[in-house]
Structure 1
């Protein structure tokens, strides 16, 4: 356990940021699963709606620094490709 005050603070800040990042990643994964489920069911309308929500969530995660910019682009491209394949 840390003895120095600044080290104790860093531990608290790290825990806070870790929890925030985990929540954001979880939300992105949930949105991606919704898109994939709609694509699996070949439901075009639901897939497009889910894709729109997923893109928004992925971009938010990228803006907040949870995901790298190129990771966000890759995820969006793969989802878009899957949705356009069933459309």
Structure 2
């Protein structure tokens, strides 16, 4: 248990930040799920639109430190390549 005032404040800050980050992570996962569903249905235009909406969310999460920048870029890249392969 935290004893010093600074440790107690740090605990409060961590709890707040964890709540915000989990909300952001959940939001990104929702966008990614929409892209996955569009890809699995085989609708290329819907998948492209979903990716267009998901990409800024992923990059925003990366900017806020929820995801690493390279992780977000990798996810976008892999989804884009899967969308590109739908019609081929």
TM-score (norm 1): 0.94
Number of aligned residues: 87
Q: Once the 2 structures are TM-superposed, how far is the Cα of residue 36 of structure 1 from its aligned partner?
A: 0.6
Q: Once the 2 structures are TM-superposed, how far is the Cα of residue 19 of structure 1 from its aligned partner?
A: 0.7
TM-score (norm 2): 0.93
Work out the CA distance in 2 between the residues paired with 1:12 and 1:69: 27
Work out the CA distance in 1 between the residues paired with 2:31 and 2:40: 14
Runs of 5+ unmatched residues, structure 1: none
Q: Secondary structure at the match of 1:86?
A: coil
Runs of 4+ that moved beyond 2 A: none
RMSD: 0.9
Work out the CA distance in 2 between the residues paired with 1:32 and 1:66: 15
Which residue of structure 2 lines up, in the alignment, with residue 25 of structure 1? 25
